[in-house]
Structure 1
């Protein structure tokens, strides 16, 4: 999760279905108004081969949350549409439970345990991590994450793998290597925080597709605001260490400050970026409809998480990924 700073103040930077499931669209899906297509990067066969052998247990344990790496070097500034021209410095951060929950280990089991996972990649020569989630798709191989977890500061990440059900250096369902990574045209062009959404298409492993092994969560687009939400991720910055699936739950609201994003009380930290937000989540089965990802927070609201609204732009990204 990322935390932002503004000029005025400090600002930080389904039911789930298994392979072959449905997508709940909520409303009619027009193409993005500006007509731009999602940005896509294809990993060469040599890159894919390297990634398969690169991520040892030791390297996974040692990968710093991307958000923490950028915090250390004071990330560059960007402008958001609602900031009236003021710049925002992005410093990426971010028992079945009682509802609400501001942050704690998920012990409820269910599908979310296997569909959620850690994302590992190389960012400008350094090993780094985020979170992600396997979703229902035509190719049965699509992962949804944050935009800054596939591309940041002008660079596409390399050695990109998804490790569902990550367990302290262990990969119980294997490491799934990206053949393609994608992001929204708005994130590609200007790192617009309202569209901090990414996706990856992963190669089959041992002759099987991702969601035939770990299952998949459904998605919802244009579903509106102010809903009961559950957010999941693998935060790896203090007080967390990246070894456990952490969740938050509660009633969400719309950000009233600088973005068009969802807002939820949550104390997840760096490494949680890209983890899924669900509406209609069933604690008994661990399933829901994904409507956002962990993206950012404000430094003056340290226990609040924000995630992009899944509208037509997110739908276009998903549509491109699921057939790639």
Structure 2
């Protein structure tokens, strides 16, 4: 049985609804690390850029992002839906029927220091936040959810693949999002931990070239903010992979159909496999646009807002069922490839 509720807040909050768009675009700015095929495990990385093509690498660019993301621009960011394709036909060899190895986990991390901020109440996680970005295909602004994840760099967050790249069609690569920022525990315009700019994205090649929703996951290295890395500031979730598809899970994010995306929400229940020939997992949370990229957490601890990430919000289907890619060895390989980038 699922439980669905708004997270408790220490202060009143109001925020524009959060969502993202999936579109097709022109050539990618990065080269794949291997062959591209739907369901494939290869990944591709790209430097984050501003809308004029400038790479994000210093305080100068982050200051420009601060000026770009005004309260008015964030309030007008466009919610988009989470609709994905139907399950693939039986017999497609790209689908993986189960775990690709033994289950494994990496540890979560509490914040490195206490700075006098009041602790969040039950179920509001400082390690979950909002993402804003510009879609280069149409020049419009969108929003997503994301989460900090503990890695050697202490600078990484997880989100959906379609929150970093528009997705490809028939092998033609999609375009990377621009002006990308992550705001931990953002509510009503408040930025208690500041705004973290993307430094580098990593997504699955099969998403970038084929819009493959079974690989709709991404990891993003962020720049430190005033010398502080995001995981040291907010804490970071662990990572789980190759676990059973039937798991007690807490799904967190900012769905636009709950309080217009103004508050952080949590849905708790036990996941199941999406389809007999579809490796994704699902939970009937009825989270709409804006929740994309939010973490699906095993062993969620309401006392500290941390858990072990075993999925990421991707799509919504009939009856309010939300789907996530299944986290297998390929997701762990993505974590290993990106987790030390600084």
Q: TM-score, normalised by structure 1?
A: 0.74
3-state SS of 1:121 partner: strand
Cross-structure match for 2:126: 114
More displaced, 312-321 or 210-219? 312-321
Please give the alpha-carbon distance, in whole angstroms, between the structure 2 residues aligned to 1:55 and 1:162: 11
Cα shift at 1:60: 1.6
Q: How many residues are paired up?
A: 266
- Which residue does the alignment assign to 1:262? 281
Which protein is richer in strand relative to its size? 1
Which of 122, 132, 156 pairs up with 2:176? 156
Task: Give the drift of 1:261.
Answer: 0.8
**In the alignment, which residue of structure 2 is the partner of 1:312?**
329
**SS of alignment partner, residue 186 of structure 2:** coil
Shift of 1:259: 2.6
Q: Deviations over 1:60-103 (max 9, x none)?
A: 222122437xx8xxxxx978644678xxxxxxxxxxxxxxxxxx
Per the alignment, residue 251 of structure 2 pairs with: 231
Unaligned runs of 5+ in 1: 5-31, 72-76, 86-106
Equivalent residue for 1:171?
Answer: 191
CA distance 1:138–1:216, shift in 2 (3 Å): same
Q: 1:295 to 1:229 in 2, by over 3 A?
A: same
CA RMSD of aligned residues (A): 2.9
Cα deviation, 1:226-278, whole Å, max 9, x if unaligned, reads 01111001112x34312100111111111126631111110111010000001
In 2 relative to 1, CA 79–286 (structure 1 residues): closer, same or farther, beyond 3 Å? Answer: closer
Cα pair distance change 1:54/1:112, threshold 3 Å: same
Distance 1:239 1:110 in 2: 18
1:44 deviation in Å? Answer: 5.0
Give the Cα separation in 1 of the matches to 2:185 and 2:295.
Answer: 14
1:297 equivalent in structure 2 = 316
Alignment check: 8 A CA contact 2:286 2:316 kept: no
Q: Tell me which residue corresponds to 2:48.
A: 43
Unaligned runs of 5+ in 2: 1-18, 23-35, 93-118, 168-173
Q: Could you tell me which of 214, 218, 236 is aligned with 2:238?
A: 218
Deviates more, 1:119-128 or 1:36-45: 36-45
Equivalents in 1 of 2:134, 2:165: separation in Å?
A: 11
Q: Is the 8 A contact 1:2 1:295 kept in 2?
A: no
* 1:286 corresponds to which of 294, 305, 309: 305
Preserved contact between residue 82 and residue 257 of structure 1 (Cα < 8 Å): no
Question: Kindly tell me: are residues 217 and 123 of structure 1, through their superposed partners in 2, closer, same or farther at Cα, counting changes over 3 Å?
Answer: same
Match of 1:16 in 2: none
Q: Report the TM-score when normalising by structure 2.
A: 0.71
Residue of structure 1 aligned with 2:293, choices 247, 263, 274 = 274
The 2-side partners of 1:78 and 1:172 are apart by 37
Residue 71 of structure 2 corresponds to 57
Give the direction of change, closer, same or farther, for the CA distance of 1:254–1:81 in structure 2 (3 Å limit). Answer: same
Match of 2:205 in 1: 185
